[in-house]
Amino acid sequence: MSRIEVLQERRLASPPQGAVRNEQSAPNNQYKAVQNLNVALIVELDSEGERLMRELQRLRCTVRHIWPVPVQLPENYDVVYCTLMEDLPRRIPWLPGEPSTTLILVDRGQDTLNLKLINNCAAHGMIHYPPTARSTIGALAMAREHFLYEQRLRGRIEKLDENLRTMRVVEKAKSIVMRTKSLGEDDAYNFLRSQAMERRVTIGVIAKAVVESFDLLN
């Protein structure tokens, strides 16, 4: 085999440089969702608390330690870690199902787990002492995904509620047009639709204006 053929064979056998870089960066890319978060760490800063803080700082999180547990948990953080305690549900300021931030409970592992208490906290995740790099990343990733999924779900529900309200207003406006203009149901709807197209607004806007005008005159 000639020297040129050997060099060509080596080039074909070795992976492209870009592929090597992508493969090496892949493990770091998967942690982006849990990096650079603003975190409140509400735990006693003993050896285990310090270890948890270090693990979070390794993820490039900005960690603020708060102790003792405040009367109300702070809401201006991406994530709040809080020691599990008997009156914790009363210290959570948001309504159930409407969390302002990701809440992760911290179990010190000293007492029997109170499942009812955990359920009443409605947290997004939980971590047990002693914290490890693996358990910290896993709990944080799952909790953040849970919180973000809740947000997306609430957004869809709010959008559906808004659509239902708009439909009710359109139906009411259609009835008003049918009475005032002696039109059939389809013609009344087409009238509202044509008015909306002419003004380049949604039919809901026109329907609301019709209903409000009718209520004002009556």
Please provide the size of the chain in residues. 218
- Is the per-residue pLDDT at 14 higher than 60? no
Same-domain pairing of 124 and 103: yes
Domain tally for the chain? 2
Same-domain pairing of 145 and 181: no
What are the Cα distances from residue 130, in Å, to 71, 86, 127, 140? 26, 21, 9, 15
Same-domain pairing of 144 and 162: no
Q: Which of 138, 154, 170 is the last residue of a domain?
A: 154
Same-domain pairing of 48 and 144: yes
- Is the per-residue pLDDT at 8 higher than 90? no
Same-domain pairing of 110 and 172: no
Q: pLDDT tens digits, residue range 65-109?
A: 999 999 999 999 999 999 999 999 999 999 888 999 999 999 998
Q: Which residue has the higher pLDDT, 208 or 22?
A: 208
> What strands, in cross-sheet order, belong to the sheet with 79-83?
62-65, 38-42, 79-83, 102-107, 125-128
Same-domain pairing of 120 and 142: yes
Amino acid identity of residue 213, one-letter, is S
Same-domain pairing of 149 and 63: yes
CATH of the domain at 202: 1.10.10.10
Give the pLDDT mean for 49-65.
96
Residue 7 lies in a domain: no
Domain span holding position 76: 31-154
Same-domain pairing of 103 and 57: yes
Same-domain pairing of 71 and 139: yes
Q: What is the pTM of this model?
A: 0.72
- Is the per-residue pLDDT at 148 higher than 60? yes
